[in-house]
Amino acid sequence: MNNKKRAIFVDSTISHDELSEYIQDSDLLLPAIRRGDIIGVLLKHPSIEIIVIVDGVFEQQASVTHKEILWALEQGIKVIGLSSLGALRAYELRNYGMLGSGKVFEDYLSGVLDGDDEVAISYFPSTHGFDKTIAMVNIRATLEKLHLCDNNLICKLRKIHFKKRNWLTLKAAVPEAIFVQLKAHYIDQKKKDVLLYFQKNHQSIKSEIPIVHSSKNIYIIRDLANKMYPTLIDYLEKNLQSMASIPIQSATPFLEKIAHDIVIYLEYKKNHTHKITYILNELDSFSYKQTRLKIVSDKIRREQKLFLSSDFIKFLDKKKISKCNLTAIFDGILKLESYFLSNGHLFNTL
């Protein structure tokens, strides 16, 4: 189950059955990629070394973000895009290490293609696999083969929304003679790119494009933390436990008091006090808006199941924590989260 080496996101461009002869035991076939899938698959299958993106959802559902792909690249994962949304993302992130393959990618690279509407389709499962509209890149490839690739004609067809671009709307948009040839000699360039990738020695794909190394991605690390740790309290405690010993440094009595209150409030071990004091001192110049303080205070109270104000007051009285220090305590908790997210050291070996 967890010996998978390559994750392949594909569905509407070519079916899993059509790809079966090229798939190895170490491959993991998945449906169109959506936001969060990269983190999810790497957590479930930490042996993954290559991610191949063909199809991806968008518009009605959250699409995979550049941040997620950048994060995977930072982990040393090879990410390859082709044919559809994958080709577009590969073009957009070509300078950051994402690799591209196929004619669709090359056309984005050369400037022939310039928008997501070129590869976008509308589709839904049917008894025959997928009922789907026609991708503009496939129309371009067919017209190019027929030597009918006229700019005016291309512009006219691009004006048809991708959700309505089917044989009926194409028939109404072009002369009969062109429509007959278009349908008779139709080229599915998106599918051709996928088949070519899997038929070739795809492992040898390389890029000559200079790579710009990106910095750690706090948004992806936060998403990863949310998936790996059930509560913020647990996440902070695990980080404190894994944090290396630090030299004793001077801090104000106020910061030492807040560090002590945080330990009491979150019910941590007392030996974490010194580490918390160190972090608060490091981030002493940082400040947060009241809205963020309210969000984290509500989150912590939910995690502690202190839903009623009366229960919350009893909790504070039991812990001997002054209500006057609550703002500083939640400010400190936010600083702990910010510090660990910005370092992300728990995930360096993922």
| DSSP calls for 94-128 | GGGT-EEESHHHHHHHHTS--SGGGT---EEEETT
- Asked whether residue 313 falls in the same domain as residue 176, the answer is no
Residue 1 in any domain: the answer is: no
Residue 127 in any domain: the answer is: no
Going by C-alpha positions, the residue among 92, 107, 97, 105 that lies closest to residue 72 is 97
- Region 91-110 average pLDDT: 92
**CA end-to-end distance (rounded Å), the chain:** 17
pLDDT exceeds 80 at position 345: no
- What is the number of H-type helices and E-type strands within the chain? 17, 7
- Asked whether residue 270 falls in the same domain as residue 145, the answer is no
- Asked whether residue 108 falls in the same domain as residue 154, the answer is no
How many domains in the chain? Answer: 3
Cα(117)–Cα(101) distance, integer angstroms? 19
Residue 179 in any domain: the answer is: yes
- Asked whether residue 265 falls in the same domain as residue 328, the answer is yes
- C-alpha to C-alpha distances, 115 to 87, 95, 105, 131, nearest whole angstrom: 11, 18, 12, 23
Cα(207)–Cα(232) distance, integer angstroms? 40
Cα(86)–Cα(52) distance, integer angstroms? 8
Q: Which amino acid is at 350?
A: L
- Asked whether residue 271 falls in the same domain as residue 328, the answer is yes
- Asked whether residue 200 falls in the same domain as residue 154, the answer is no
Residue 295 in any domain: the answer is: yes
- Asked whether residue 241 falls in the same domain as residue 268, the answer is yes
- Asked whether residue 234 falls in the same domain as residue 331, the answer is yes
Residue 217 in any domain: the answer is: no
Going by C-alpha positions, the residue among 346, 345, 344, 335 that lies closest to residue 276 is 335
Torsion of CA 195, 130, 2, 205, to 10 degrees: 20
In Å, how far from its chain's centre is CA 146? Answer: 39
- Asked whether residue 234 falls in the same domain as residue 314, the answer is yes
Residue 152 in any domain: the answer is: yes
Q: For residue 343, how many other CB atoms are within 10 A of its CB?
A: 15
Kind of pairing between the strands at 123-126 and 129-132 = antiparallel
- Show which of 144, 171, 204 is a domain's final residue: 204
- Region 175-190 average pLDDT: 96
Residue 213 in any domain: the answer is: no
- Asked whether residue 197 falls in the same domain as residue 311, the answer is no
Specify the CATH number for the domain of residue 95: 3.40.50
pTM of the model as a whole: 0.64
- Residue 133: band (very low, low, confident or very high) from pLDDT cuts 50, 70, 90: very high
Mind listing the pLDDT tens digit for each residue in 16-48? 999 999 999 999 999 999 998 998 898 899 899
- Asked whether residue 235 falls in the same domain as residue 326, the answer is yes
- Asked whether residue 179 falls in the same domain as residue 58, the answer is no
- C-alpha to C-alpha distances, 296 to 292, 299, 330, 339, nearest whole angstrom: 6, 5, 7, 15
Residue 95 in any domain: the answer is: yes
Which residue range(s) make up the domain with 173?
134-188
Mind listing the pLDDT tens digit for each residue in 267-286? 999 999 999 999 998 888 77
Q: For residue 346, how many other CB atoms are within 10 A of its CB?
A: 19
Output the average pLDDT for the chain: 87
In the block, tokens 């330990």 appear at 263
